[in-house]
Amino acid sequence: MNKLNLPENIIRLRHERKLTQEELADFLGVTKAAVSKWEKGQNTPDLLLLPQLASFFGITVDEIIGYEAQLSKEQIRRYYAELSKEFANQPFEEVLERTRALAHQYYACYPFLLQLGILYYNHFMLAETEEGRRQILLEAGGWCDRILEHCNDVGVCSDALVLKAGMDLQLGKAAEAVQALGPEADPSRLTGQHGSLLIQAYQMAGEHEKARIYAQAKYYLDLMNLVADAVLSLSFNETDKNQCEETVRRVNGILDLYHLETLHPNMAAQFHYQSAVMYAANGEEEDALKALSKFGRCVERLLDAEQIELHGDGYFNLLEEWLECLPLGSMAPRDKSFIWQSLQGAMQRPVFHCIRNREEFQKLARKWAEGGKEND
């Protein structure tokens, strides 16, 4: 919330309407001296005068005193970008306090509160202790509960429900996540068809461009969800080597076919990394190193970019308008400095013990540890 700026607003509104202090005073039944003191910030109008003052200028009381209860989409994006960068580069507790202060200031701006919850979810692991991480998730979960209780925006509430379930999983509350998501995510429900129906509705309504944009966005999201589901499949089928190898073969084909290492290097990197973990767990050293090499290639694409953003390509060429409608637009949820910091931990996992002394692995590890590309 900006500082209250009643004096400046009275001066501006009075000048816009070409009024003298005396004319304004006459309307309100006060002295010219009283208006003069308001404009100099030496005094403020009586509380009962504020509705009359706002009515005179044809605006709300909030507007006359300069109070903003809601943030615009652009302001929300700006705050998120600033905080994300600060989490990656400044003391964690200091950024945490600033985030909390903003949450308190805009406690009724539910879209912003949701994005602050997402911000916490993407950075809670930076807390120094397990208890600290737990408290951050609980705090963000409380914001989600507030949204679900008070917000009338179905989309914001739906996102808050999913976010809360994700945090419940991080907190070990699997039963709560199942209870929240089970009814909504049941694949047999008709809600799973709403995207296709909307595309058809746009077509029938003659809004062909909207139909094309939405169809492409849905196609793009379905593709990303397929790869994300494959990452999960590799993680919980790790001991079923044949199943995992077939998953890797098929999804690598999709990554190549749709150029996903370029289109969405972050998603491709997640898949290659989980493939490396699976191969290492099964003692397949050469395949694990190949997957890690692909992972490193995707990470370099992310870090070489001036700014990490979602984008389309020559095939997915209608995504810009859809991306602009997202709460954060094309902005990535984490600053690339944060990605760099997390790389070192990724290479230290015990599952890679079998290949830790291999030159290929050491080369990658040095690259991330030194904060730059190694000269060949």
Do 53 and 135 lie in a common domain? no
Using CA atoms, how far apart are residues 225 and 227, in angstroms rounded to an integer? 5
User: Does residue 218 fall inside a structural domain?
Assistant: yes
Using CA atoms, how far apart are residues 373 and 376, in angstroms rounded to an integer? 9
Q: In the structure, what pLDDT confidence band is assigned to residue 373 with cuts at 50, 70 and 90?
A: very low
Which alpha helices (H) appear in 90-188, and where do they start and end? 92-105, 110-123, 130-150, 154-170, 174-185
The pLDDT score that the predictor gives to residue 375 is 40
Lowest-confidence pick of 5-19, 86-100, 199-213, 358-372: 358-372
CA end-to-end span of the chain: 52
Using CA atoms, how far apart are residues 349 and 231, in angstroms rounded to an integer? 17
pLDDT digits (tens, 9 = 90+) for 115-159: 999 999 999 998 999 999 999 999 999 999 999 998 989 889 999
Per-residue DSSP letter, 273 = H
The pLDDT score that the predictor gives to residue 322 is 92
Do 358 and 261 lie in a common domain? yes
Do 210 and 97 lie in a common domain? no
Do 150 and 258 lie in a common domain? no
User: Does residue 374 fall inside a structural domain?
Assistant: no
User: Does residue 226 fall inside a structural domain?
Assistant: yes
How many percent of the chain have pLDDT more than 90? 60
pLDDT digits (tens, 9 = 90+) for 248-264: 999 999 999 999 999 99
Do 172 and 234 lie in a common domain? no
pLDDT digits (tens, 9 = 90+) for 168-211: 999 999 999 998 887 666 666 655 677 888 899 999 999 999 99
The pLDDT score that the predictor gives to residue 4 is 61
Do 55 and 78 lie in a common domain? no
Phi-psi region of 41 (alpha: psi -120 to 50; beta: other; left: phi over 0): left
Do 173 and 248 lie in a common domain? no
Strand-pairing partners, residue 331, are 309
Do 212 and 260 lie in a common domain? yes
The pLDDT score that the predictor gives to residue 281 is 95
Residues spanned by the domain of 326: 196-369
pLDDT digits (tens, 9 = 90+) for 272-331: 999 999 999 999 999 999 999 999 999 888 888 878 889 999 999 999 999 998 888 888
Count of domains observed in the chain: 3
288 near 276, Cβ under 8 Å?
A: yes
The pLDDT score that the predictor gives to residue 2 is 44
Q: Taking the model in full, what pTM does it have?
A: 0.75
User: Does residue 213 fall inside a structural domain?
Assistant: yes
The pLDDT score that the predictor gives to residue 95 is 96
Do 361 and 251 lie in a common domain? yes
pLDDT digits (tens, 9 = 90+) for 322-345: 999 888 888 887 777 777 767 777
Do 78 and 61 lie in a common domain? no
Last residue within a domain, chosen from 126, 161, 185: 185
- Which CATH number is 33's domain given? 1.10.260.40
Mean pLDDT, range 3-11, rounded to an integer: 80
Per-residue DSSP letter, 328 = T
Mean pLDDT, range 44-72, rounded to an integer: 81
User: Does residue 243 fall inside a structural domain?
Assistant: yes
The pLDDT score that the predictor gives to residue 189 is 60
CA torsion sign, 345 to 346 to 351 to 354?
negative
User: Does residue 121 fall inside a structural domain?
Assistant: yes
Last residue within a domain, chosen from 65, 91, 114: 65
Last residue within a domain, chosen from 26, 47, 65: 65
DSSP string for 77-109: HHHHHHHHHHHHHS-HHHHHHHHHHHHHHTTT-
Do 50 and 136 lie in a common domain? no
Do 170 and 260 lie in a common domain? no
375 near 354, Cβ under 8 Å?
A: no
User: Does residue 376 fall inside a structural domain?
Assistant: no
Mean pLDDT, range 349-367, rounded to an integer: 89
User: HSE on the CB side for 193, CA within 13 Å?
Assistant: 6
Cα angle value 260/159/151 (rounded, 5°):
155
